[in-house]
């Protein structure tokens, strides 16, 4: 009897294991956790994506389209080359998650047991970041015409801060995405001579011959389609001095029908003074000519830091399409203008989407201790129709 029972036991176990291996992925158990982690920040009501992906009812009609998007790596959008640099906000799906979605679609996109679903993700209504400590909104709606070119509008919003503030999370939110190309929130410290004729809450367009001197004190946060909130590491923050104004640079684009916008800025303050002050600068080159008919052309821009610097993130940006961008840093001794101490930076390359700009946040800040730090951004482009720009680097330094 024993000799006959043992083979039967092993055969039954093997059959059970085989059945478990062939069980297809289901939405609630396998797919929903991926969507929560990778997709739902944008794919939910009120956000930029065209459809919500929160429930099975919402996801099922898009199953094949989702598979095509992740297999082609069109979604989630992440243009950085995976061979150069590691980034904390990397949106790309690992291979096993792509294969999981493909297997689910191939099995007919089954729903599965709803009791196996993870708890719903929690979001601050109206924000990608957590609930802000303070919100600054344009005092009045701006009227966007149905057609024509709208010049950049500068709108001054006093902060009313009676003490210095350290900002560790910030987000710029358009009131109307259809007509808002970008928002840049600058700070203007007390005593600044930049845009002295701009009155609080009144849209202002700088003109030649005005009395403006200098520029903004700091770039605090920005918005363009695809940009995430500014979220700094523990111990890092941007400083907004007491009595400063926010100056919103608003770029509107006519969309074929008259519209209005009333954008806002949300801030979350650090609970204690940071160890490192973060400052956003840029390496910009707008004075170049690309030879007619050139299949590709390299343009360089450079920024030199005069003190010990830690590179926090990069935001490649250019107007009209570009082929590739790479960012390189090196050490320069005080007495010579050539690299020394070997290369100490990571090169990052990737396609640059003008319609979906993204900051690349280093997993670890790229730190250099040489007296001078230089960062070069070569750009390789297809044949252009007009000159284009590239800019964006954020650094952290001593307070």
81, 83, 312, 326, 343 from 346: Cα distances, Å: 12, 10, 12, 10, 8
> Mind listing the pLDDT tens digit of every residue in the chain (399 residues)?
343 343 333 333 444 444 445 789 999 999 999 999 999 988 999 888 899 999 999 999 999 999 999 999 889 988 777 777 778 888 889 999 999 999 999 999 999 999 999 999 988 888 989 999 999 999 999 999 999 999 999 999 999 999 999 999 999 999 999 999 999 999 999 999 999 999 999 999 998 777 778 888 899 999 988 788 999 999 999 999 999 999 999 999 999 999 999 999 999 999 999 999 998 887 777 788 888 887 777 777 777 777 777 778 877 776 655 666 766 665 555 444 444 333 333 344 444 445 566 777 777 765 554 433 444 443 434 333 333 333 444 445 445
CATH number of 124-274: 2.60.120.310
Whether the model clears a pTM of 0.85, i.e. scores above it, the answer is: no
pLDDT of residue 24: 92
Domain residue spans of the chain: 18-116, 124-274, 275-399
| Residues in CB range of 151: below 8 A, 6 or more apart | 205
For residue range 130-168, list pLDDT tens digits in order.
999 999 999 999 999 999 999 999 999 999 999 999 999
pLDDT of residue 320: 59
In angstroms, the CA 388 to CA 317 distance is 9
Q: What count of other Cβ atoms lies within 10 Å of the Cβ of residue 354?
A: 14
- The fold for domain 275-399 equals Jelly Rolls (2.60.120)
pLDDT of residue 311: 79
In angstroms, the CA 159 to CA 241 distance is 10
Point out which residues pair with 245 in neighbouring strands. 158, 188
Give one DSSP letter per residue of 335-383, joined into a string. Answer: T-SS-EEEE-S--EEEEE-TTS---EEEEEEEEE-SSEEEEE--EEE-S
pLDDT of residue 143: 96
| Residues in CB range of 89: below 8 A, 6 or more apart | 228, 358, 359, 360, 361
In angstroms, the CA 173 to CA 137 distance is 9
In the numeric block, the tokens 């701009």 are attached to 198
pLDDT of residue 366: 59
SS (H, E, C) 65-115: HHHHHHHCCCCCCCCECCCCCCECCCCCCCHHHHHHHHHHHHCCCCCCCHH
Task: Assess whether the region 124-274 and the region 275-399 belong to the same CATH fold.
Answer: yes
């Amino acid at each position: 009897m024993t000799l006959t029972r043992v083979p039967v036991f092993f055969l039954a176990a093997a059959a059970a294991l085989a059945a478990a291996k062939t069980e297809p992925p289901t939405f609630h158990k396998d797919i929903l956790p991926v969507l929560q982690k990778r997709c739902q920040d944008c794919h939910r009501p009120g956000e930029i994506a065209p459809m919500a992906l929160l429930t099975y009812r919402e996801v099922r009609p898009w199953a094949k389209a989702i598979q095509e998007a992740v297999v082609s790596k069109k979604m989630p959008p992440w243009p950085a080359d995976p061979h150069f640099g590691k980034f904390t906000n990397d949106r790309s799906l690992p291979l096993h998650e792509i294969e999981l979605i493909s297997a689910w679609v191939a099995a007919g996109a089954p729903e599965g047991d709803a009791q196996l679903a993870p708890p719903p993700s929690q979001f601050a209504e109206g924000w990608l970041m957590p609930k802000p400590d303070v919100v600054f909104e344009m005092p009045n709606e701006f009227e966007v015409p149905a057609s024509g070119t709208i010049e950049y509008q500068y709108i001054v919003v006093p902060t009313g801060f009676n003490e210095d503030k350290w900002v560790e999370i910030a987000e710029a939110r358009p009131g109307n995405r259809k007509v808002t190309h970008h928002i840049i929130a600058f700070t203007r410290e007390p005593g600044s001579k930049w845009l002295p004729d701009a009155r609080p809450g009144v849209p202002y367009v700088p003109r030649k011959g005005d009395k403006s001197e200098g520029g903004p004190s700091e770039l605090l946060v920005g918005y363009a389609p695809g940009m995430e909130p500014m979220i700094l590491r523990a111990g890092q923050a941007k400083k907004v001095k007491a009595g400063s104004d926010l100056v919103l640079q608003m770029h509107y684009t006519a969309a074929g029908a008259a519209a209005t916008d009333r954008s806002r800025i949300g801030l979350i303050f650090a609970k204690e003074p940071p160890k490192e002050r973060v400052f956003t600068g840029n390496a910009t080159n707008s004075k170049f000519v690309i030879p007619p008919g050139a299949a590709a052309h390299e343009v360089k821009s450079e920024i030199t830091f005069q003190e010990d610097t830690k590179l926090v993130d990069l935001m490649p940006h250019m107007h009209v399409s570009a082929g590739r961008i790479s960012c390189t840093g090196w050490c320069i001794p005080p007495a010579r203008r050539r690299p020394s101490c070997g290369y100490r930076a990571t090169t990052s390359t990737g396609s640059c989407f003008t319609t979906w700009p993204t900051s690349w946040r280093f997993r670890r800040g790229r730190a250099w201790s040489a007296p001078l730090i230089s960062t070069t951004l070569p750009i390789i482009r297809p044949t252009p129709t007009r000159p284009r720009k590239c800019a964006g680097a954020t650094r952290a330094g001593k307070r």
